[in-house]
Amino acid sequence: MLGFTNALGEPVCCVFIIAVAEVRAKDIMGLQPWAPTVGDLSINFEDNSNGPDKYYPYAPTCIVHGRSVPAVVTCSVSGSITSTILMQVMAHLDEKIFFDQTEATPFLLLDGYGSGFDLPSLDYVNAADTKWTICIGVPYGMNLWQVGDSAQQNGAYK
């Protein structure tokens, strides 16, 4: 699961990447078998869908500037983000949230992993009608020792 936020730290979109070759409908719908049901699930599908206490809860939806942004549920065989998935997420955000690009260009901060730097995402961010600004953070920034916080950096190892 990846969370996309705005500069204020408010949620913009959730992205779920499943380690499979193809996403199925039940992967998108989710399932809470302990939730109470209304009538017959095959007949009363809508009454049992979309919410935290529903049999088919679906993924979370974010509200951004009054617009509903449903989660992206996608897949890669490894379960990792790919350039194609990154491009799909940016396209999803462009579709669901109108960015007035006369005021500012949408901005995306990425870690240093190479998954975001293949042609699908690079072509998307450089297209005239879908311009994005992308900055690259510290490579493999998940490990604090790389920015000087480990015992190794603080002189514990000699």
Residue 11 lies in a domain: yes
> What is the structure's pLDDT at 147?
46
DSSP per-residue codes, the chain: -EEEE-TTS-EEEEEEEEESSS--HHHHH---TTS---S-TTTSTGGGBSSTTSSB--S-EEEETTEEEEPEEEEETTSS--HHHHHHHHHHHHHHS---TTT---EEEE-S-GGG-SHHHHHHHHSGGG--EEEE-STTTT-GGGGT-STTTTTS--
Task: Judge residue 17's burial from the number of C-beta atoms within 10 Å of its C-beta, 0-12 exposed, 13-18 middle, 19 or more buried.
Answer: buried
Residue 23 has pLDDT above 80, yes or no: yes
Residue 59 lies in a domain: yes
Paired tokens of 104: 């500012």
What pLDDT, in 10s, does the model give residues 109-141?
Answer: 887 776 667 888 888 888 878 888 888 776 555
pLDDT band for position 16 (50/70/90)? Answer: very high
> What is the structure's pLDDT at 140?
55
pLDDT band for position 7 (50/70/90)? Answer: confident
Range of the domain at 55: 1-80
Task: Judge residue 74's burial from the number of C-beta atoms within 10 Å of its C-beta, 0-12 exposed, 13-18 middle, 19 or more buried.
Answer: buried
Residue 65 lies in a domain: yes
Domains identified in the chain, total number: 1
Residue 128 lies in a domain: no
The DSSP code for 16 is: E
C-alpha span between 156 and 158 (Å, rounded) = 7
Residue 156 lies in a domain: no
Residue 30 lies in a domain: yes
Residue 72: its H or E element? strand 72-76
Residue 144 lies in a domain: no
Lowest mean pLDDT among 85-89, 95-99, 139-143, 144-148: 144-148
Residue 56 lies in a domain: yes
Share of the chain above pLDDT 70, in %: 84
